């Protein structure tokens, strides 16, 4: 079969035109949609309570809330420890389902720290973090170990692997200051004693 030269030139011309058209078509980039922020315009105030447990509540109120909560296995006085330092109390209990353990620290029988260790098989760190950002905005501290939200009265953190901690900053800061004063006084007494040599 004999192919004519003008026919081949016509085919090459068509292929060249199609190649140019194909290149123009595939070089067009579709712009990505603008990112959607999950941070609220007006974040809610930081919570001082979780599942009926509140910072600032008494030991009796805490124990009653622990008995009512179906995710925790509170055993009464066996889960309550009195610490000899500064009239502090520690309540520690196990949980089921989403909460593996719960710790409550009390000063003068008032809750100032609540800590909930969650079961990472049932809830993940990203989901808890996202829920906090959607309600309370961006954290003030974010690093591989923790994300922290703070207000004048409250500090809430999500610590790895997955513990959510609520702290009454006013009580906590007061206890830190008292501890510093005690350390300074002990250092003064030590220096005074050494001066006797």
Least confident segment among 19-23, 46-50, 71-75, 122-126: 19-23
pLDDT at residue 101, rounded to an integer: 94
pLDDT at residue 174, rounded to an integer: 87
Question: Across all residues in the chain, what is the average pLDDT?
Answer: 82
Separation of alpha carbons 72 and 193, rounded Å: 51
pLDDT at residue 158, rounded to an integer: 96
Least confident segment among 39-53, 87-101, 109-123, 180-194: 180-194
More confident residue, 58 or 3: 58
More confident residue, 188 or 44: 44
Q: C-alpha angle 41/51/172, rounded to 5°? A: 80
CB 132 within 8 A of CB 19: no
Q: Given pLDDT bands bounded at 50, 70 and 90, which one contains residue 123?
A: very high
Strands (E), 33-77: 49-50, 53-54, 72-73
Separation of alpha carbons 51 and 93, rounded Å: 15
Separation of alpha carbons 132 and 164, rounded Å: 11
Q: 72 has which bridge partners?
A: 95
Highest mean pLDDT among 25-34, 133-142, 166-175: 133-142
More confident residue, 27 or 32: 32
Q: Given pLDDT bands bounded at 50, 70 and 90, which one contains residue 19?
A: low
């Amino acid at each position: 079969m004999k192919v004519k030269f003008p026919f081949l030139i016509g085919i090459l011309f068509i292929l060249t035109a199609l190649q140019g058209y194909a290149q123009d078509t595939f070089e067009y980039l579709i712009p990505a949609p603008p990112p959607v922020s999950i941070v609220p315009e007006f974040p809610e105030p930081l919570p001082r309570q979780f599942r009926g447990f509140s910072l600032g509540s008494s030991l009796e109120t805490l124990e009653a809330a622990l008995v009512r909560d179906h995710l925790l296995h509170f055993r009464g006085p066996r889960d309550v420890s009195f610490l000899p330092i500064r009239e502090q109390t520690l309540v520690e209990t196990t949980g089921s389902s989403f909460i593996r353990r719960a710790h409550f620290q009390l000063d003068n029988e008032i809750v100032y720290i609540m800590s909930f260790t969650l079961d990472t098989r049932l809830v993940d760190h990203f989901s808890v973090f996202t829920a906090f950002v959607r309600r309370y905005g961006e954290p003030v501290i974010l690093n591989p170990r923790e994300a922290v939200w703070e207000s004048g009265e409250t500090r809430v953190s999500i610590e790895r692997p997955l513990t959510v901690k609520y702290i009454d900053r006013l009580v906590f800061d007061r206890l830190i200051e008292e501890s510093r004063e005690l350390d300074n006084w002990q250092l003064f007494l030590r220096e005074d004693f050494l001066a006797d040599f």
